[in-house]
Structure 1
Amino acid sequence: MVRGKTEVRRIENATSRQVTFSKRRNGLLKKAFELSVLCDAEIGLIIFSSSGKLYEFSSSSMSNTIERYKKHVKDVIENSRSTEQNIQPSKKDAEDMARKIELLNVSSRKLMGESLESCSVEELHELESQLEQGLTRVKRRKNHVLKEQITQLKERERELQQEHDLLQKQADFLALSLRKPEVAVEALQEVVPEGDNQHKDVETELYIGWPARGSTQQLLKR
């Protein structure tokens, strides 16, 4: 049968309280001794009865254990103070940053034309001046970007025109070669020097295409 949960409270009867104290004290001292032996732990146990009588147990030396405890508590307190001192500047910086962000948000809303009810005439003049200066900088930047784009487009137009002129010359030469091969040969001979040994057979053969590229589409012989 499982025992129910016993409520832990002060025993009113003095005799029963003394008996319970003696039993629990001895059990506690025994458990402290077993823990120190089994786990190699340094244990210091101090008990004062309700009458003021002292009972103690120490696995080594009670005074050494107490000194070790005091040193540990001192180190914990110092570390806690050091941590708190380090936290204070960070907390202050965070608060300052939060205030700056709030001021920036308020200024941004005013520049957007919001929350102007609390602004004085001087503040409204200042906002108007800031907006005009900002608009001037935006226009200056826009004009600069447009000029750069126009310059790039003009350069691209020049390159395309050069390509167009080259293709037109090739097309004209091809058309002339198809209609009048003899004229095309003469034009080709004007382009190629007579003393060029690499083009001796130009007088007897005609290649359709732009001479500078050396492409051969169709060979026309006399």
Structure 2
Amino acid sequence: MLFWQMWLAIVTLSWNPTHLQTHTRTVFLYYIFFFSLSLLFAVKSKHTLALFFYISIYFFLSLLFAVKVYLVHLHCFLQKKTHPPPSRKEMAREKIKIRKIDNITARQVTFSKRRRGLLKKAEELAVLCDADVALVIFSATGKLFEYASSSMPELLEKYKLHSNNNVVDKVDDSLNLQLQESDQTRMGKELLDKNRELSQLRGEDLHGLTLEELQRLETLLEGGLNRVIRTKDERISNEISTLQQKGFRLMEENKHLKQQMLTLTSNGKRPRTRGVELDNVATNPDDQGQSSDSVTTNVCSCSSGPPPEDDCSDTALKLALPFN
């Protein structure tokens, strides 16, 4: 019995303070249990010396135990004061660096665990959200692992169709954008060239031109000036021919009027104009010819002169003979 008590005391005193703090109640119960057994044995043996010896040993061990517990509590108090307990952030799980696992066995174990977790998450996503999920995994050895919520071929065909549509749309958008940019660049360049040519035709912005370019510009301007002069001459000749045709037409009308005058004169009627009496018209043929010549001269002078054609038209109307 004494041997077990000594062993319990040695183990108690040699424990780590942290462990002793954790198991203080258990050790104290052990002491009470062994003390009761020893006391019962001493009383039954009726040896006063043995009883005194057991009580002395227990008193000494209890004193050592009390000192040890006090020191442990003092150590823990000082440790808490100098080293406060870690916060929740510090107690959180450390982040694992994502890199290739060098150990092949550990790599295979990690692959198996992560693969099962990934397949489980894919299945949960398909069930909870009613989504079409397809998962394809190839291991390092080339082994295939797959999961599909409905049918893998249907999901792959759907994915291909969606990918092709996206690619076509992206290609069309990029081509249209490139065409628009090229058209804008080309039109901007053409606009700058035309503005520069126009300013050069006006005689501006000629400092950067070489001698050959100046000669070419001079030839261009001379050709343009000749075309302008030619067009002006054509317009003038056309107007002259138009006026001549009007003069000939007025002369024909004048001849027709003279014949009407002769006819009326031969019938004994005296022609009158509107508010103007034709006194110069003679009844004999000589006088009639003279008056006709004077009228013809007036009409020709009206048609060949520069006055407007409205005046000649008024003259022709005045020569009309109203019938009384």
User: What TM-score, normalized to structure 1?
Assistant: 0.50
Is 1:46 aligned to 2:136, yes or no?
A: yes
Is 1:28 aligned to 2:118, yes or no?
A: yes
Q: Which has the larger radius of gyration?
A: 2
Tell me the distance in 2 between the aligned counterparts of 1:8 and 1:114: 69
Instruction: Please identify which structure carries the higher strand content.
Output: 1
Residue 66 of structure 1 deviates from its aligned partner by: 0.7
Match of 1:14 among 91, 100, 104: 104
Letter in 2 for 1:59: S
In structure 2, what is the equivalent of residue 37 of structure 1?
A: 127
Is 1:92 aligned to 2:185, yes or no?
A: no
In structure 2, what is the equivalent of residue 79 of structure 1?
A: 169
Consecutive unaligned residues of structure 2, counting only runs of 5 or more, are: 1-89, 226-324
Could you report, residue by residue, the CA deviation over 1:97-140 in whole angstroms, capped at 9, with x for unpaired residues?
1221231353366443354343523244258669x9xxxxxxxx
Letter in 1 for 2:127: V
- C-alpha change, 1:119 and 1:11, in structure 2 (3 Å) is farther
- C-alpha change, 1:113 and 1:76, in structure 2 (3 Å) is closer
Tell me the distance in 2 between the aligned counterparts of 1:94 and 1:119: 32
- C-alpha change, 1:113 and 1:3, in structure 2 (3 Å) is same
Tell me the distance in 2 between the aligned counterparts of 1:21 and 1:119: 81
Aligned residues: 133
In structure 2, what is the equivalent of residue 143 of structure 1?
A: none
Could you report, residue by residue, the CA deviation over 1:44-65 in whole angstroms, capped at 9, with x for unpaired residues?
0000111111111111111111
Q: Which deviates more from structure 2 when the two are superposed, residues 86-95 or residues 9-18?
A: 86-95
In structure 2, what is the equivalent of residue 63 of structure 1?
A: 153
RMSD: 3.0
Tell me the distance in 2 between the aligned counterparts of 1:59 and 1:35: 10
| 1:129-148 alignment runs, 5 A limit | none
User: What TM-score, normalized to structure 2?
Assistant: 0.36
In structure 1, what is the equivalent of residue 196 of structure 2?
A: 106
Consecutive unaligned residues of structure 1, counting only runs of 5 or more, are: 133-222
Could you say what secondary structure the match of 2:146 adopts? strand
CA contact 2:138–2:145 (8 Å) conserved in 1 = yes
Tell me the distance in 1 between the aligned counterparts of 2:209 and 2:94: 70
Residue 7 of structure 1 deviates from its aligned partner by: 2.9
In structure 1, what is the equivalent of residue 210 of structure 2?
A: 118
CA contact 1:109–1:115 (8 Å) conserved in 2 = no
Letter in 2 for 1:118: T
CA contact 2:135–2:148 (8 Å) conserved in 1 = yes
Which structure has more RCO (C-alpha within 8 Å, separation ≥ 6)?
2
Could you say what secondary structure the match of 1:113 adopts? coil
- C-alpha change, 1:98 and 1:30, in structure 2 (3 Å) is same
Instruction: Please identify which structure carries the higher helix content.
Output: 2
Tell me the distance in 1 between the aligned counterparts of 2:165 and 2:174: 14
Q: Which deviates more from structure 2 when the two are superposed, residues 97-106 or residues 40-49?
A: 97-106
Could you say what secondary structure the match of 1:55 adopts? strand
Between the aligned residues of both structures, percent identity stands at 39
In structure 2, what is the equivalent of residue 158 of structure 1?
A: none
